[in-house]
Structure 1
Amino acid sequence: MPPRRASLFVTCLVDLLYPEVGEASVALLEDLGVEVDFPEAQTCCGQPAFNSGFEEDARRVASGLLDAMESAEAVVSPSGSCTAMVRSHYVHLFHGTKDERRAEALAAKTFELTEFVVDVLGVDHLPGRWEGRVTYHDSCHGLRELGLTGQGRGLLAGIEGLELVEMARPEMCCGFGGTFSVRLPEVATAMADDKIAQSEETGADVIVSGDSGCLMHLAGRLSRTRSRLRPMHVATLLARARGLAPASR
């Protein structure tokens, strides 16, 4: 039996910048019969420190997430990147410590949102209506560490009026990469511009992704280049298409 209760791991970017993504995630899960709670003591997953080589600092931050999610039946996050941090790196991060078993347990029950809906709940069709042409950006961690490719696309395919058009290289990095975009801003900007050019070539109105970090990075360049493309999280689009969230904020 798939879990009918889930704790939302909202991530730093959603918590601080994109709360509507968290609200849309809750609305979608509850609409599918999942009871959702939000452990308020949850912390950052520790990825920025981990990726910068500060494992002790990352472990200290991540310990808070272990505590907050210990009693969860399942943990769901609207982020491939943060999910991948927990699933792929917590076992290494806590190896040989008193929290190693807890890290293994959390990794085993943590899922990205579309992955949870499709692969755990077994829902591969979400009817709804949304008019427009959409192109999909695969985030690096979601694609390369979690193997996410068809889940989000499959859910969008059930939306009446939505035309999904693939860009030339949907798997290509957008240039965000967390601290990468801070360390190498010129390279990150060039990569974002390339991704935007590919997206515009599809004639899409919206570029959709499952990671707010990618969308934040692209949004900055879209604004500066005055592109007509709009960035949107897959959870937000699905919730709006199903009438579970307002059309705009």
Structure 2
Amino acid sequence: MKVEIFIPCYIDQFFPEIAFHTIEILKKANCEVHYNPEQSCCGKPAFLAGKTKTGRNVAEKFLNDFSEKGYIVTPSGSCTDFVKTFYSEMFENASLHNAYKNVNRNIFELSDFLVNVAGVTSFDAGLNAIAIVHEHCSFSKLKKESGHIRTLLKNVNGLVISEFNDDMCCGLGNQFSSEFPEMAETMAKRKLETALDKNAEIIISSDMTCLLHFRKIIEKENYPLQALHISEVLTSKN
């Protein structure tokens, strides 16, 4: 199965290992992975910061960077949500309307693609730990994430999954953490302390933006927790 891979800008610049883990997983799922080195960003940072013209220009480039016909897989729930939710606002009845429709239909977050398209849920991974799953709020509202991640994690040898009692945001919230840093930190601490109360050693998510926010607080407060992307877990070995 041929897939095109979209590596979000922040992963490309700060967490390239997530891209390599994603490629490794897709190859194990019998996918032929194609990467366009000219790709850059989906437009989310600029658009949600109020730079709508810049965001739309970047989004147009995104549409032109992919073939429209094949699957597009990305290790980011938030970028997937942005394309599926906001591109309709940008491109409805525009010249790129058909391109948007095709990309909207074909783009998948990694765990969603593995479970519902590739049909591969076991990767011979192993991790002896108690973990808890954090769902990126914009993606989980589409009811797209929780079941997929848990389907994959139940096949990780040695991993025990605990659960949050609510779906509270980590506090990052696009521009929220920049405008209200103290409140954003309080929200992250509450989430992390809940994880510790449930004896979790690892917090797992499909989105590195949330995990970056968690990692900053974990380091600052010296919490005995790791924040790992789903791709890191699926490529781990005991």
- Runs (5+) with no aligned partner, structure 2: none
Q: Higher mean Cα deviation, 212-221 or 41-50? A: 41-50
Matches within 5 A, 1:1-249: 4-70=1-67, 73-145=70-142, 147-169=144-166, 171-241=167-237
Once the 2 structures are TM-superposed, how far is the Cα of residue 53 of structure 1 from its aligned partner?
Answer: 2.8
Q: Deviations over 1:108-140 (max 9, x none)?
A: 100000000001112244443211111110111
Q: Would you say the 8 A contact 2:68–2:102 is kept in 1?
A: no
Q: Deviations over 1:182-226 (max 9, x none)?
A: 111111111111111111111111111000000000100000000
Once the 2 structures are TM-superposed, how far is the Cα of residue 91 of structure 1 from its aligned partner?
Answer: 1.8
Once the 2 structures are TM-superposed, how far is the Cα of residue 72 of structure 1 from its aligned partner?
Answer: 5.4
State the alpha-carbon separation in 1 of the partners of residues 67 and 225 from structure 2.
40
State the alpha-carbon separation in 2 of the partners of residues 32 and 72 from structure 1.
20
Secondary structure at the aligned position of 1:120 is classed as helix
Q: Would you say the 8 A contact 2:125–2:233 is kept in 1?
A: no
State the alpha-carbon separation in 2 of the partners of residues 33 and 212 from structure 1.
25
State the alpha-carbon separation in 1 of the partners of residues 236 and 10 from structure 2.
20
State the alpha-carbon separation in 2 of the partners of residues 71 and 90 from structure 1.
14
Give % identity: 29
State the alpha-carbon separation in 2 of the partners of residues 71 and 45 from structure 1.
15
Once the 2 structures are TM-superposed, how far is the Cα of residue 56 of structure 1 from its aligned partner?
Answer: 1.5
CA RMSD of aligned residues (A): 1.4
State the alpha-carbon separation in 2 of the partners of residues 59 and 128 from structure 1.
39
State the alpha-carbon separation in 1 of the partners of residues 67 and 42 from structure 2.
14
TM-score when scaled to structure 2? 0.95
Q: Deviations over 1:141-197 (max 9, x none)?
A: 22013532110111110111111111232x210001122111111111111111111
